[in-house]
C-alpha cells in the first residue's frame, strides 16, 4: 500500500519543524518526507492521499517503564493477582490496545507476570492483537524476599550462581534487556527505599552475564550509595532514582548511565485512591515526591540522558490525559518541551538500539507516527490532543474519520 500523508508539519527529536510537509509511506516504512510539492512528485499519482488537516506529525511515543500486568498493594491489585493465565493474557492484551491507541507505539516492559509478555509480543507481531512494539525484560530479578518478590513478575535469585542463572533464564525466554531490583522501593511494606538488596558480587554477576549476552541492564533503585556502586560496575540505566546526589549524577553522565525517573509514582494520589492502595504505601510514595524531583533536576543539570517512563500503565486515564503524557509533562517542566520530545521518542529508541527502524520521521524508518493539533516542541501538553495514530504504515486511530480506539 502506498499512502501520502499531507497538510501537516513534521517534527521529531532531531530536526526543525518542516511546514507544509508530506510523508510518503510505502508498506510499513517511510519512503520520503519533506516539503509537500517535492514529496508529491516523488510519490506520483498512485498513492492514496490522507489529509491531516494541518496537524503536527511526530514519531510515536516510547514508554520505557511499562507494566501491563501491574499489581500494587490494595484491592485492585488483589483482584488482578487472582486472575488465571487466560484472563491475565486478555487483560494485558486490552492494555496493549489502549496503549497503542493513545499514541504510545513502543514500550519497554520491565517486569511482567509469568512471561505472558512474550506471548503478547508474538501475538502483536503476528497481527492478531493490536498493541505497541514490545521490548521486554521478562521477569525482574530480585533477591529472596526482595522488592516485588510477592508477584510472579519477579524471579527470586540468591548468590552469584543464582543471579547468573536468572539472567540466562530471561535471555532464553526472549528478553531484550535485564531488569534487577537492587534496593527497596515504595511498594514493599517490609523494606525502605534505601534497603540494599544485592551484594556487589551478585550485581556484578548480573551485569557481566547480561553484557556477555548483549543485553543492557536496568535497575530499580532509590538511594545514592547503591546506585553509585552499580554505575561503577557498568549499569546501563536507573529506574526511579529517588535519592540521587550531584556527585552520583555526574558519575552517571560520565559513564553514560541513563535515568528513567518515573516522576508520577511519587505524585499520583488519585491513582492510588482508585486502586485502593493502603495508607502506608501512599505516605511513603507521596512523601518522597520533593526529594524525587530534586534528584531528577540534579540528573538533568549533570547532563544525564533522561527518558520517558510512566510506571503507571501507559494508557491509564490520569489528570485529564493518560499516564504517559502526564509523565512527559512533569519531565518537561524541568527539561523543556523540545528535550521532552526527544526523551519520549528518539532517546528511548537509541537506548533500545532500535534507531535504525524507529524514533524519527525519515526515509527508511518504520511508519510509527502520531498527529495532533498543536506543536509538541513548543508545549508538551500538545500530546493530550493526539487524534491520529499509525503503526507500521497502518492507520489504527483517526478520530476525524471514525477509526477510534
The span from the CA of 332 to the CA of 315, in Å, is 19
Along the chain (405 residues), what's the average pLDDT of each consecutive run of 10 residues? 96 86 97 95 91 97 96 85 90 97 98 95 97 98 90 95 98 98 83 87 98 98 95 98 97 98 95 90 91 97 98 95 98 98 98 98 97 97 98 95 64
Q: State the pLDDT at residue 75.
A: 86
CA 229 to chain centre: 25
CB 260 within 8 A of CB 65: yes
Q: State the pLDDT at residue 404.
A: 59
The span from the CA of 7 to the CA of 394, in Å, is 18
| Alpha-carbon Rg for the chain in angstroms | 21
Q: State the pLDDT at residue 29.
A: 98
The span from the CA of 97 to the CA of 44, in Å, is 34
CB 63 within 8 A of CB 401: no
Handedness of CA 120, 121, 122, 123 (dihedral sign): positive
- How many other CB atoms sit within 10 Å of the CB of residue 51? 12
Walk me through the domains of the chain, giving residue ranges and CATH numbers: 2-60+359-398 (2.30.40.10), 61-351 (3.20.20.140)
Phi-psi region of 303 (alpha: psi -120 to 50; beta: other; left: phi over 0): left
Among 276, 376, 358, which residue's Cα sits nearest to residue 321?
Answer: 376
pTM of this prediction?
0.95
Q: State the pLDDT at residue 95.
A: 97
Q: State the pLDDT at residue 403.
A: 60
> What 3-state class would DSSP assign to 147?
coil
N- to C-terminal Cα separation, the chain: 22
CB 170 within 8 A of CB 157: no
Amino acid at each position: 500500500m502506498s499512502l501520502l500523508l499531507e497538510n501537516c508539519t513534521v517534527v521529531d527529536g532531531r530536526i526543525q519543524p518542516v511546514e507544509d510537509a508530506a510523508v510518503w509511506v510505502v508498506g510499513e516504512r517511510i519512503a520520503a518526507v519533506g516539503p509537500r510539492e517535492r514529496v508529491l512528485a516523488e510519490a506520483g499519482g498512485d498513492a492514496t492521499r490522507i489529509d491531516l488537516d494541518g496537524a503536527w506529525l511526530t514519531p510515536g511515543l516510547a514508554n520505557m517503564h511499562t507494566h501491563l500486568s501491574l499489581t500494587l498493594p490494595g484491592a485492585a491489585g488483589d483482584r488482578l493477582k487472582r486472575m488465571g493465565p487466560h484472563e491475565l493474557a486478555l487483560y494485558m492484551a486490552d492494555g496493549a490496545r489502549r496503549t497503542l491507541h493513545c499514541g504510545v507505539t513502543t514500550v519497554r516492559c520491565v517486569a511482567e507476570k509469568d512471561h505472558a509478555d512474550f506471548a503478547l509480543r508474538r501475538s502483536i507481531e503476528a497481527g492478531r492483537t493490536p498493541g505497541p512494539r514490545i521490548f521486554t525484560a521478562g521477569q525482574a530479578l530480585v533477591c529472596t524476599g526482595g522488592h516485588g518478590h510477592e508477584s510472579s513478575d519477579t524471579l527470586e535469585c540468591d548468590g552469584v550462581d543464582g543471579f547468573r542463572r536468572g539472567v540466562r533464564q530471561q535471555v532464553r525466554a526472549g528478553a531484550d534487556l535485564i531488569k534487577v531490583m537492587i534496593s527497596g522501593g515504595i511498594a514493599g511494606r517490609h523494606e525502605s527505599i534505601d534497603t540494599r538488596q544485592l551484594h556487589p558480587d551478585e550485581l556484578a554477576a548480573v551485569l557481566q552475564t547480561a553484557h556477555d549476552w548483549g543485553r543492557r541492564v536496568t535497575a530499580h533503585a532509590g538511594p545514592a550509595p547503591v546506585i553509585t556502586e552499580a554505575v561503577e560496575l557498568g549499569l546501563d540505566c536507573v529506574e526511579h532514582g529517588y535519592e540521587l546526589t550531584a556527585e552520583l549524577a555526574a558519575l552517571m553522565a560520565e559513564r553514560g548511565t541513563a535515568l528513567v525517573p518515573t516522576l508520577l509514582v511519587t505524585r499520583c494520589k488519585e491513582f492510588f485512591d482508585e486502586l485502593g492502595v493502603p495508607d502506608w504505601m501512599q505516605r511513603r510514595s507521596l512523601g518522597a515526591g520533593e526529594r524525587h524531583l530534586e534528584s531528577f533536576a540534579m540528573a538533568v543539570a549533570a547532563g544525564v540522558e533522561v527518558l520517558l517512563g510512566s510506571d503507571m500503565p501507559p494508557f491509564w486515564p490520569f489528570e485529564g490525559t493518560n499516564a504517559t503524557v502526564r509523565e512527559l509533562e512533569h519531565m518537561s517542566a524541568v527539561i523543556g518541551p523540545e528535550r521532552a520530545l526527544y526523551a519520549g521518542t528518539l532517546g528511548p529508541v537509541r537506548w533500545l538500539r532500535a534507531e535504525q527502524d524507529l524514533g524519527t520521521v525519515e526515509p527508511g524508518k518504520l511508519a510509527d507516527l502520531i498527529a495532533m493539533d498543536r506543536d509538541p516542541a513548543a508545549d508538551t501538553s500538545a500530546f493530550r490532543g493526539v487524534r491520529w495514530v499509525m503503526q507500521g504504515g497502518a492507520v489504527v486511530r483517526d478520530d476525524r474519520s471514525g477509526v477510534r480506539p
